[in-house]
Amino acid sequence: MAFTAKDVMALREKTGAGMMDCKKALVDTDGDMDKAADLLRERGIAKAAKKAGRIAAEGIVACYIEGKVGVLLEINCESDFVAKNDSFTAIATEIAKVIVKENPADVEGLLASPFEGAANVEEYLKSQIAVIGEKIAIRRFTRYETDGYYAQYIHMGGKIGVLIDMAGEATQASEKAAHEVALQAAFSKPAYLTEKDVPTETLEKEKNILKQQAMNEGKPEAIAEKMVMGRIKKFYEENCLVKLSYFRDDSKTMADVLKEGNAQINRFVLYVMGEGLEKKNEDLSEEVAKQVAQMKK
């Protein structure tokens, strides 16, 4: 039985599966729409695709280091139960290995990257979705290559992750300092490494806010402008990693800790799992009411 591009689109709308999956299913069933839909379900593809509309607001931040390449990855799922499962951590590790090897430019490129035992990473994830029964989504990743060494820290089973690219040779003292900096970063969540890394637009916006705050306190504009310089120093101390107060000794900054360990940072990345994602939170009675209403139709 022949089929057209419209049939492929119709099957996609019916099942939520990808275009190529739908086309292959129609080929394998001689164009029979119902059989193709059943085949997609049997293959776990329709099941995975239907979950694509769900909110994946749980998950983990994972770190993987292989030689001189380091990866920080956030991968999301739907429930905390799945996120805490060792098999989910294993999925994150397998994805990170692909990032190390293939060096994709973005998530889209990662999904299209080859994967052993599957056509690509996207197909691998679909197979895992069918097994786990929840949506799995790769949200973001950072890949570093270094001439130095790495410090990394994963907090609370993957709720926060830090990867730091360190310059120079690793020594016992420098590695200890780097580890302390990684802990501090996870604790304080700085946005920048040094003052030089703060974008001009961000800095000017902060200065305007601080100036307006001073003027709202009744200070003349000329005095308010002078006060801004003192207050912007505090902004740096709260938002730049090397300016942060050391959590073990607030008489020191992280720059002091690095100096004592003869350590130097090239760059760092920090992910807070689920930051900015919406969590689905439906009242149970509302959910039951919806199901009852659906049954009455």
* pLDDT of 43 above 80: no
Nearest Cα to Cα of residue 120 among 110, 112, 109: 112
Tokens of residue 294, six digits: 């659906």
* Domains within the chain, CATH numbers bracketed: 5-49 (1.10.8.10), 54-145 (3.30.479.20)
pLDDT at 13: 77
For the segment 125-184, what is each residue's pLDDT rounded down to a tens digit?
999 999 998 999 999 999 999 999 999 999 999 999 999 999 999 999 999 999 999 999
Dump the DSSP string for 189-256.
--SBSSGGGS-HHHHHHHHHHHHHHHHHTT--HHHHHHHHHHHHHHHHHHHBGGGSEETTEEEEEHHH
Choose the weakest-confidence range: 102-116, 177-191, 252-266, 268-282: 268-282
Which strands sit side by side in the sheet containing 58-66, from one edge to the other?
Answer: 58-66, 69-77, 137-145
Return d(Cα 163, Cα 71) in angstroms, integer. Answer: 8
Separation in Å, CA 57 to CA 21, 41, 136, 198 = 27, 25, 10, 29
User: Residue 27 carries which side chain, given as an amino acid letter?
Assistant: V
Return d(Cα 225, Cα 208) in angstroms, integer. Answer: 9
**pTM assigned to the model:** 0.76
Return d(Cα 232, Cα 205) in angstroms, integer. Answer: 11
Tokens of residue 86, six digits: 């060792």
User: Where on the phi/psi map is residue 274: left (φ > 0), alpha (ψ -120 to 50), or beta?
Assistant: left
pLDDT at 212: 85
Mean residue pLDDT of the chain comes to: 89
Give the mean model confidence (pLDDT) for residues 273-279. Answer: 79
φ, ψ for residue 261 (rounded to 5)?
A: -95, 5
pLDDT at 295: 43
